[in-house]
Amino acid sequence: MARKNYSKQHLSLENQVAKLKGNGLVIHNEHYAQKCLVQYNYYRLSAYWHIFRNPDPLDPRKKLSTFKQNSTFESSILLYEFDKALRQLIFKAISEFETFFRTQLAYIIPTIKNDAFALYDQSLFLHRPHQKPPYDYFKLLNTINTDIDRAKHEDFIQHYKRTYNNSYLGQPKLPFWMVTEVLSFGTLKNIYSHLKVPNKNKIVDCFNIKDSANTSTLNKYYSINFKDLDSYLFLINKYRNICAHHGRLWNRKVKNGLKVDSITALDLTGHQDAGLYALFIILARLLEPTGYAKEWKDSVYNLIKNSFPLHDISLYTTLPSDWEKHPIWHKL
């Protein structure tokens, strides 16, 4: 298909409202609509009234600019506000998980060889830059140095530079428990991915649930494979970025977000492209060692039960109608 030049013009708030009404969207209070458009942005809100638009009869993958009968602006705002509340809960869960994960890396990796500077010990990490998937240890170190440089004005880094002469590539060579405090989640994920398998297993073990009362019949969800955690970290990082940029979350998918084995391990067959169902179950499982899982699951369930504005969320998302009955959500 031939590409064309972008020709849409900027519209005043009054004209934005007029355009929506002209396309059939019911707006009961134009002043309220303008207030929402100022606060949230027409383009951002368009992702929430998208589902109210008529399908293109020539291509079911597309939508027309006109709206289905009786669709209201207020309904799209309710959906936006539901998504905002859901996004806050998801980000809270990711933050709790991230703090726990960051702490385990900071504590365990230096203990492998009793080395505060374990990060700079290449023997702990993979370096296979020309294989698939590639692992480039030196590229990882450069990324870490970039994160350190970004945090160079932090008081503890300034103190370290004034007190110690350790350095690497022009940046302070920090003890591992210190460097983890300035790394992005994506960099933390890459550190885990680059660890050799025995070292990955030391991290994964922190997420495994011990059942001292009945060790002979362990729940199949109690253990996590090191490869599966790799996959879950990739997915969490994607959704973390969506949350951090206040993006649409409720019916979002991440294409090829999960590996097949990691889907099977948590009984998520058919959810390789992720979506809410996979995200809910993975976060619920990974939050278990933090002590925050039940509180978070209750909050999510109550939000969906009491605040989703379109009645049945399973009609619009990857959540099945009985999503809350998954054993990890219901019993773990």
* pLDDT tens readout for residues 82-124: 999 999 999 999 999 999 999 999 999 999 999 999 999 999 9
Q: What is the token pair recorded at 299?
A: 């909050």
pLDDT of residue 9: 86
Give the C-alpha separation, 331 to 219, whole Å: 10
Between residues 295 and 7, the one the model is more confident about: 295
**Mind listing the pLDDT tens digit for each residue in 43-59?**
999 999 999 999 999 99
Query: What is the chain's mean pLDDT, rounded?
Result: 94
Residue 264's pLDDT band, with cuts at 50, 70 and 90, is very high
In this prediction, residue 166 has a pLDDT band, given cuts at 50, 70 and 90, of confident
Handedness of CA 292, 294, 295, 296 (dihedral sign): positive
- For 156-209, the DSSP string reads HHHHHHHH---EETTEE---HHHHTTT--HHHHHHHHHHB-HHHHHHHHGGGSP
Contact 168, 145 (CB under 8 A): yes
* pLDDT (average), residues 153-165: 93
Average the pLDDT over 71-89 and give the result. Answer: 98
- Residue 190's pLDDT is 97
Residue 1 pLDDT: 63
pLDDT of residue 213: 56
Number of H helices, E strands in the chain: 14, 4
Q: What is the pLDDT at residue 218?
A: 61
Separation CA 21–CA 15 (nearest Å)? 10
- The band of 13, judged by pLDDT with boundaries at 50, 70 and 90, is very high
pLDDT of res. 214: 58
Per-residue pLDDT tens over the stretch 217-261: 568 899 999 999 999 999 999 999 999 999 999 999 999 899 999
Confidence band for 280, pLDDT divided at 50, 70 and 90: very high
Q: What angle do CA 246, 252, 254 make, to 5 degrees?
A: 105
Measure the CA–CA gap between 54 and 42, rounded to whole angstroms.
19
Sequence-distant (≥ 6) Cβ neighbours of residue 119 within 8 angstroms: 109, 141, 144, 174, 176, 179, 191
Is the pLDDT confidence value at 215 over 60?
no
What's the pLDDT score for residue 6?
Answer: 83
Q: Give the 3-state secondary structure of residue 229.
A: helix
